[in-house]
Structure 1
Amino acid sequence: MIFKKTDLEDAYIIELERLGDSRGFFARAFCENEFANHGIDFSIVQANTSYSAKKHTLRGMHYQDKPYQEAKLIKCTKGAIFDVIIDMRMDSPTFKQWEGIELSEQNRKMLYVPEGFAHGFMTLEDETEVYYPVTQSYTPGAEKGIRWDDPAFNIQWPAPAEIVSEKDESWPFYENTVDKELRHQL
């Protein structure tokens, strides 16, 4: 496994270290020891799959409140996505910064999303599937989100969003409510 730091504190792009021969290749997609060597405690308690039928479907930006914050390991198993994370940790040097990366079945990259980050993605192809183990169980009362088009972050999506759920359209803008909620948690 090849860990590459992103511009955001504690987030990594993970590439497979392939051992190939005439059959194809073998690679570890997860290793507790490799994660620990990078200072990451990643104990999987739930794994999720997302399927989107249409290109330019947008999902996000989601996170869970303390004490139910979750880390995620995002992998696109079919199709392609533009995956976006926002550092929502007020004590982080990269607080309120975002980063986007293309994950696809072709590039086989993964994105490690630390606790305290908002996460979302846009599909770049029809019939896209995403698989992601997480470190916390889904907790409905702790579920939060911010608008995917929030001017506080100015995320540069690769295309206009064509399909967005009502729930994701109804998340608040950061400056209106989220900032106050985060400050209250400190």
Structure 2
Amino acid sequence: MTITPLEIPEVLLIQPRRFGDDRGWFEETWNRKTLAAEGVDMEFVQDNQSLSRSVGTIRGLHFQAPPFAQAKLVRVAQGRIHDFAVDIRRSSPTYGKWVGAELSAENGTQLLVPQGFAHAFVTREPDTVVCYKVDGFYDKASEGGIRFDDPDLAIDWGVPQSDVILSDKDLTLGRLADLPAIFD
């Protein structure tokens, strides 16, 4: 596996090795021992999967507050997304900054989003299936989020706003500036 820190170095791009032949390919998407040797030592407790039928579907920007905060290891099993992580740690020099990467079934790239970050993605292909591991169990009372169109973040989703598809819940999220200090 190749691990590359992004502009916010806590967010990691992980590229598993693929072994291909005339039948297709095989890759090991997670190996705790291998990644621990590279400094990524996490115990994942839950796997999640979503299907987004339409291009331009945005899921996020979501997080869980402590003590139920979650790190996520995100990959695409079918289709293609642009994946984003926003630093919401108030004491961080990169507070309010975001990074993103294209993840697809074809490229096999994964994004590790640590605790203290809001996470979102936008679909680039129809019928996209996203899978992610989390290191904390879901807790409804701890969930939070930020509006996808927060002008202070100015995320370039690569989709005209008129074509964005959101859940009703995501339409009601507030701005980063209105978020209390959840992560120090």
**TM-score interval, smaller chain:** over 0.9
Q: Is the 1:87–1:96 contact (alpha carbons within 8 Å) kept by the matching residues of 2? A: yes
1:104 corresponds to: 104
- Structure 2, unmatched stretches of 5+, are none
1:164 corresponds to: 166
Cα deviation 1:123-159 (Å, max 9, x = unaligned): 1111111000101111000000001110111101111
Rounded to whole Å, the distance in 2 between the matches of 1:19 and 1:148 is: 37
SS at match of 2:36: helix
Root-mean-square deviation over aligned CA pairs:
1.5
Rounded to whole Å, the distance in 1 between the matches of 2:88 and 2:40 is: 18
1:136 corresponds to: 136
1:8 corresponds to: 8
After TM superposition, list the pairs within 5 Å mapping 1:73-112 onto structure 2.
73-112=73-112
Rounded to whole Å, the distance in 1 between the matches of 2:164 and 2:90 is: 32
Q: Which amino acid aligns with 2:165?
A: I
SS at match of 2:181: helix
SS at match of 1:39: coil
Rounded to whole Å, the distance in 1 between the matches of 2:102 and 2:142 is: 28
Rounded to whole Å, the distance in 2 between the matches of 1:106 and 1:36 is: 26
Q: Which amino acid aligns with 1:30?
A: W
Matched, 1:182 2:181: yes
Q: Is the 1:9–1:92 contact (alpha carbons within 8 Å) kept by the matching residues of 2? A: no
Cα deviation 1:73-110 (Å, max 9, x = unaligned): 10011111111110112232322110111111111110
SS at match of 1:168: helix
Rounded to whole Å, the distance in 2 between the matches of 1:156 and 1:26 is: 33
Q: Is the 2:17–2:27 contact (alpha carbons within 8 Å) kept by the matching residues of 1? A: yes
Matched, 1:46 2:46: yes
Rounded to whole Å, the distance in 1 between the matches of 2:54 and 2:27 is: 30
Q: Which amino acid aligns with 1:17?
A: R
